[in-house]
Structure 1
């Protein structure tokens, strides 16, 4: 069983850090924002809560939410233009510090590439370090489903991505940081998990995280690695 001190040491020595995006890298849940933009926010928000809490499988929740939203390519593009994702306070500085320390940073999320790639660009994260779901559209731009072959569309998909990254790059210490049950379950194969509750606190993550960052702005701390104001150990 990994202890808190071991978790912090793994983070200090990490070869790679994998971040969730929704409610971690950014303040909001991208799919909820898309739903609001398309006029079906209330129905989708409740399904997101269940998915992040682990009470339904991720793929089931994703399929049901998208079947309600049925967004067009035009709506997605307009959302990004009119309501771009808002970065969590301090996250750019943290990612910059990790890059300066030659730590590889990846975005591993159940969100959508069209939104996540916009976020990656803001953080100078290479687009080939983005693992996310892909929406599909018909030639006229209408919603046609999502790519079900992406590992991030499945439960335990984030763990599959991390296993692949470790095998491909030979990483010894990989840390997963996120707010949801799908992030928690990615450890193992991640060597350590850091729960993030700076935007929303999920009960399951709060109970099972050795290290839960609850509120304030993220920044690098020499002694403990990542630090957040009023963290709970």
Structure 2
């Protein structure tokens, strides 16, 4: 019995050479058990959109295929042996074919370094004169070397005494990742839901989510008293577990099958959410996330996620 899959090969920004369509097809046809049915290489131009960072052009090859030797995970293992990143300049992603059907989908994303380019807490810390110190802790937390909640509280403590107005100043300078606007527009226009869940802060996220008309947004709340940050967060801390549960909660609320969920993130705090989704996507990610993700994008174009859903 064969398994229907889609091959979504996305060029890497760090690749010294990018394979031609003929070279890609030849490499894929050499994989025993994989039968290509149709395919197309597309060149996507560079992205320059208001409120977004500039994004590079990239190439994407999309092919419908049948896998004759097991399920999707088996196909991923077989294509992994090609080492497409090194030999072809492409990440060779294997996606369940049903993700490209017309059923309603949930796209859930991390925010800092995924939906947006910055790590907001690092920007706030810089305004408080603690930028380098906090950025180092953030980097270690995203690599999975530190407990996220404990490290978050440590970093937020460095913001004590900061004027509340600085939050708005930082928020005004935030840039969306290249292609973020297009990605959200395409998913919403197709009748899908787009949600974000962040280890950052609702005071920054709310206007960002509103601008994109996101379906749902969830983040930590910075405690403010008399116009100054106290160095604490109020309420529930958005941990990796909360991110996973948010995916499940919103899929149920919007009546979306688990087989139609896509999660996108970049750091260790996204691992549980990535594992929960039908397709977990590592976006220019840390090693801790790359090791568990189903697919990866290694170019600075968030809109490349749409190819996994046939959009």
TM-score range relative to shorter protein: 0.7 to 0.9
Counterparts in 2 of 1:111 and 1:51: CA distance versus 1, 3 Å? same
The answer for the alignment partner of 2:141 in structure 1 is 51
The gaps in structure 2 that reach 5 residues or longer are 1-70, 74-92
1:166 aligns with 2:251: yes
TM-score by length of 2: 0.63
1:191-223 Cα offsets, whole Å, 9 max, x none, are 2211100xxx31212333231101142335886
| Per-residue CA distance 1:50-108 (angstroms, 9 max, x = gap) | 11111111111100001112233122123234xx2101111101110001111100011
Partners of 2:110 and 2:310 in 1: CA distance? 15
Give yes or no for contact 1:8–1:224 (8 Å, CA) kept in 2: no
User: For the aligned residues, what is the CA RMSD?
Assistant: 2.4
Q: Which residue of 2 aligns with 1:231?
A: none
User: 1:208 maps to what in 2?
Assistant: 292
Q: Is the 8 A contact 2:182 2:303 kept in 1?
A: yes
Higher RCO (CA 8 Å, separation ≥ 6 residues): 1
Find the residue that maps to 2:166 and give its secondary structure: helix
Quote the offset at 1:36 in angstroms: 1.1
Secondary structure in 1 matching 2:113: helix
Determine if contact 1:156/1:186 at 8 Å carries over to the other structure: yes
Q: Distance in 1 between matches of 2:115 and 2:97?
A: 20
What number of residue pairs does the alignment pair up? 218
**Match of residue 117 from structure 1:** 206
Q: What is aligned with 1:136?
A: 223
Structure 1 counterpart SS, 2:299: coil
- C-alpha change, 1:222 and 1:48, in structure 2 (3 Å) is closer
Q: Which residue of 2 aligns with 1:75?
A: 166
Could you tell me whether the CA contact under 8 Å between 2:107 and 2:262 is conserved in 1?
yes
Unaligned runs of 5+ in 1: 228-233
CA distance in 2, matches of 1:223, 1:77: 34
Deviates more, 1:9-18 or 1:26-35: 9-18
SS of the aligned residue for 1:56 comes to coil
Instruction: Tell me if the contact between 1:44 and 1:65 (Cα under 8 Å) persists in the aligned partners.
Output: yes
Contact 2:209 2:217 (8 Å CA) reproduced: yes
Deviations for 1:170-196, whole angstroms, at most 9, x for unmatched residues?
A: 221221101111212213432221110
After TM superposition, the score normalised by the length of structure 1 is: 0.83
Partner Cα distance (2:300, 2:136) in 1:
26
Which one has a larger percent strand, Structure 1 or Structure 2? 2
Over alpha carbons, which structure has the higher Rg?
Answer: 2
Residue 21 (structure 1) aligns with: 111
